[in-house]
A and B are shown apart, each in its own frame.
Chain A
Amino acid sequence: MNYSAYSIHKLREGLKKKDFPSEDIVKDCLDRIKISKLNAFITICETEAIKKAKEADKKIKDGVDLPLLGIPISAKDIYLTRNIRTTAASRVLNRYIPQYSATVIERLEKAGAIIIGKTNCDAWAHGSSGENSDYGPTENPYLKGYVPGGSSSGSAVSVAANMCLVSMGTDTGGSIRLPASFCNVVGLKPTYGRVSRYGVISMASSLDSIGHFTKNVDDSALVLSITAGKDKNDATTPEIEVDNYKNYLTKDIKEVKIGLPREYFSDGLDKRVKEKIENEVKILEAKGARIEQISLPNTEYGITCYYIVQPAEVSSNLARYDGLRYGNDRAHFGNEAKRRIMLGSYVLSSGYYDAYYKKAMQVRTLIKKDFDEAFKKVDVIIAPVSPTLPWKIGEKTQDPLSMYLSDIYTVNVNLAGIPGLSVPIGLIEGLPVGLQILGPHFSEGKLFQVGKAIERPKI
Chain B
Amino acid sequence: MKSVIGLEVHVELKTKSKMFCGCPADYFGKKPNTHTCPVCLGLPGALPVPNKTAIQWCVMLGLALNCKIPLTSKFDRKNYFYPDLPKGYQISQYDEPFCLKGSLKLDNGKVIKIRRVHMEEDTGKLIHATVGNEDVSLIDLNRSGVPLVEIVTEPDFDNSKDVKEYLQKLQQIVRYLAISDADMEKGDMRLEPNISISKDGSLPSYKVEVKNINSFRFAEKAIDYEIKRQLEILKNNETPIQETRGWDEKKQKTVSQRTKEEASDYRYFPEPDIPPIRWTQKQLEGFRKQIPELPHFKVQKYENELKIKVSDAIRVSENIEVAQFFEKTVKIGSKHNVSPQSVANFLLNKGVNTSNITPAELIKTIISTSTYATIDNSKIKKAVEKVLRENPKALNDLRVGKTQTLQFLIGKTMAEIKEKIDTKIIIEEINRQTK
Q: Do B45 and A102 touch (CB < 8 A)?
A: yes
Q: Do B47 and A233 touch (CB < 8 A)?
A: yes
Q: Is A7 an interface residue (CB 8 A)?
A: no
Q: Is A199 an interface residue (CB 8 A)?
A: yes
A53–B41 CA distance with the chains assembled, in angstroms: 34
Q: Do A324 and B83 touch (CB < 8 A)?
A: yes
A266–B323 CA distance with the chains assembled, in angstroms: 76
A133 nearest CB across to chain B (Å)? 17
CB-defined interface of B41-80 with A at 8 Å, one 1/0 digit per residue? 1111111111000000000000000000000000001010
Q: Do A316 and B49 touch (CB < 8 A)?
A: no
Q: Is B274 an interface residue (CB 8 A)?
A: yes
Which chain A residues (303-325) contact chain B, with CB distance < 8 Å?
A: 312-313, 315-316, 318-322, 324-325
A358 nearest CB neighbor, chain B only: B269
Q: Do B41 and A325 touch (CB < 8 A)?
A: yes
Give me 20 other A-B pairs in contact (C-beta within 8 A), A350-B267, A353-B268 excluded. Answer: A78-B45, A100-B43, A202-B47, A205-B272, A205-B273, A206-B272, A234-B273, A235-B49, A236-B272, A313-B269, A315-B79, A315-B267, A316-B89, A319-B79, A320-B44, A321-B44, A322-B88, A348-B269, A350-B263, A353-B269
Query: Hey, which chain B residues are within 8 Å of A326, CB to CB?
Result: 43
Q: Do B273 and A86 touch (CB < 8 A)?
A: no
A309 nearest CB across to chain B (Å)? 9
Query: Hey, which chain B residues are within 8 Å of A198, CB to CB?
Result: 45-47
Q: Is A99 an interface residue (CB 8 A)?
A: yes
Q: Is B376 an interface residue (CB 8 A)?
A: no
Q: Do B45 and A200 touch (CB < 8 A)?
A: yes
| Sample (19) of A-B pairs whose CB atoms are under 8 Å apart | A99-B38, A100-B43, A235-B47, A235-B49, A235-B274, A236-B47, A316-B79, A319-B89, A320-B87, A322-B81, A324-B83, A324-B139, A325-B139, A326-B43, A348-B267, A349-B265, A349-B267, A350-B267, A353-B269
B405 nearest CB across to chain A (Å)? 74
Which chain B residues (26-51) contact chain A, with CB distance < 8 Å?
A: 38, 41-50
Q: Is B275 an interface residue (CB 8 A)?
A: yes
Q: Is A88 an interface residue (CB 8 A)?
A: yes
Q: Do B48 and A235 touch (CB < 8 A)?
A: yes
Query: Hey, which chain B residues are within 8 Å of A369, CB to CB?
Result: none
CB-defined interface of A98-116 with B at 8 Å, one 1/0 digit per residue? 1110100000000000000
Q: 3 smallest A-B Cβ distances: which pairs?
A: A319-B88, A206-B272, A348-B267
Q: Do A348 and B79 touch (CB < 8 A)?
A: yes
Q: Do B275 and A235 touch (CB < 8 A)?
A: yes
Query: Hey, which chain A residues are within 8 Å of B45, CB to CB?
Result: 78-80, 98, 102, 197-202
Find A320's partner among B48, B50, B86, B268 (CB 8 Å cutoff): B86
Q: Is A178 an interface residue (CB 8 A)?
A: no
B48 nearest CB neighbor, chain A only: A235
A86 nearest CB neighbor, chain B only: B44
B34 nearest CB across to chain A (Å)? 15
Q: Is A96 an interface residue (CB 8 A)?
A: yes
A444–B48 CA distance with the chains assembled, in angstroms: 27
A204–B269 CA distance with the chains assembled, in angstroms: 13
A91 nearest CB across to chain B (Å)? 14
A180–B47 CA distance with the chains assembled, in angstroms: 28
Chain B contact-residue range equals 20 to 34
Find A316's partner among B44, B47, B83, B267 (CB 8 Å cutoff): B267
Find A325's partner among B49, B86, B268 (CB 8 Å cutoff): B86
Q: Do B38 and A100 touch (CB < 8 A)?
A: yes
Q: Do B42 and A325 touch (CB < 8 A)?
A: yes
Most chain B CB neighbours (cut-off 10 Å) among A93, A322, A349: A322
A234–B272 CA distance with the chains assembled, in angstroms: 11
Q: Do A236 and B265 touch (CB < 8 A)?
A: no
Most chain B CB neighbours (cut-off 10 Å) among A320, A326, A350, A357: A320
Which chain A residues (61-100) contact chain B, with CB distance < 8 Å?
A: 78-80, 86, 88, 93, 96, 98-100
B123 nearest CB across to chain A (Å)? 13
Q: Is A345 an interface residue (CB 8 A)?
A: yes
A205–B45 CA distance with the chains assembled, in angstroms: 10
Q: Do A80 and B269 touch (CB < 8 A)?
A: no
Binding site for B on A (CB under 8 A): 78-80, 86, 88, 93, 96, 98-100, 102, 197-202, 204-206, 232-236, 312-313, 315-316, 318-322, 324-326, 345, 348-350, 353, 357
Query: Hey, which chain A residues are within 8 Å of B275, CB to CB?
Result: 235-236
A329–B88 CA distance with the chains assembled, in angstroms: 14
Query: Hey, which chain B residues are within 8 Å of A197, CB to CB?
Result: 45, 47
Query: Hey, which chain A residues are within 8 Å of B41, CB to CB?
Result: 325
Q: A88-B44, A316-B79 are in contact. Are A350 and B269 (CB under 8 A)?
A: no
A263–B367 CA distance with the chains assembled, in angstroms: 90
A79–B81 CA distance with the chains assembled, in angstroms: 25
A100–B79 CA distance with the chains assembled, in angstroms: 26
Query: Hey, which chain B residues are within 8 Å of A93, CB to CB?
Result: 44
Query: Hey, which chain B residues are within 8 Å of A96, CB to CB?
Result: 44
B83 nearest CB neighbor, chain A only: A324
Query: Hey, which chain A residues are within 8 Å of B269, CB to CB?
Result: 312-313, 316, 348, 353, 357
B81 nearest CB across to chain A (Å)? 7
Query: Hey, which chain B residues are within 8 Å of A79, CB to CB?
Result: 45
B84 nearest CB neighbor, chain A only: A324
Query: Hey, which chain B residues are within 8 Å of A349, CB to CB?
Result: 265, 267
Q: Do B81 and A235 touch (CB < 8 A)?
A: no
CB-defined interface of B81-120 with A at 8 Å, one 1/0 digit per residue? 1010011110000000000000000000000000000000
Query: Hey, which chain A residues are within 8 Å of B81, CB to CB?
Result: 319, 322
Q: Do B43 and A99 touch (CB < 8 A)?
A: yes
A39–B273 CA distance with the chains assembled, in angstroms: 33
Most chain A CB neighbours (cut-off 10 Å) among B45, B49, B86: B45
A210 nearest CB across to chain B (Å)? 11
A321–B89 CA distance with the chains assembled, in angstroms: 12
CB-defined interface of B362-382 with A at 8 Å, one 1/0 digit per residue? 000000000000000000000
Q: A99-B38, A201-B44, A201-B45 are in contact. Are A235 and B86 (CB under 8 A)?
A: no
A349–B265 CA distance with the chains assembled, in angstroms: 6
A102–B49 CA distance with the chains assembled, in angstroms: 15
Find A313's partner among B46, B88, B272 (CB 8 Å cutoff): B272
Query: Hey, which chain B residues are within 8 Å of A353, CB to CB?
Result: 267-269
B354 nearest CB across to chain A (Å)? 41
Q: Do B79 and A98 touch (CB < 8 A)?
A: no
A204–B274 CA distance with the chains assembled, in angstroms: 13
A238 nearest CB neighbor, chain B only: B275
A122 nearest CB across to chain B (Å)? 16
B20 nearest CB neighbor, chain A only: A235
Query: Hey, which chain B residues are within 8 Å of A236, CB to CB?
Result: 47, 272-275
B125 nearest CB across to chain A (Å)? 14
Q: Do A234 and B47 touch (CB < 8 A)?
A: yes
Query: Hey, which chain B residues are within 8 Å of A201, CB to CB?
Result: 44-45
Q: Do A199 and B265 touch (CB < 8 A)?
A: no
Query: Hey, which chain B residues are within 8 Å of A324, CB to CB?
Result: 83, 139
A139 nearest CB across to chain B (Å)? 27
A409–B39 CA distance with the chains assembled, in angstroms: 34
B274 nearest CB neighbor, chain A only: A235
B38 nearest CB neighbor, chain A only: A100
Query: Hey, which chain A residues are within 8 Å of B44, CB to CB?
Result: 80, 86, 88, 93, 96, 98, 201, 320-321
A348–B268 CA distance with the chains assembled, in angstroms: 7
B264 nearest CB across to chain A (Å)? 10
B22 nearest CB across to chain A (Å)? 9
A357–B41 CA distance with the chains assembled, in angstroms: 28
Query: Hey, which chain A residues are within 8 Å of B49, CB to CB?
Result: 232-235
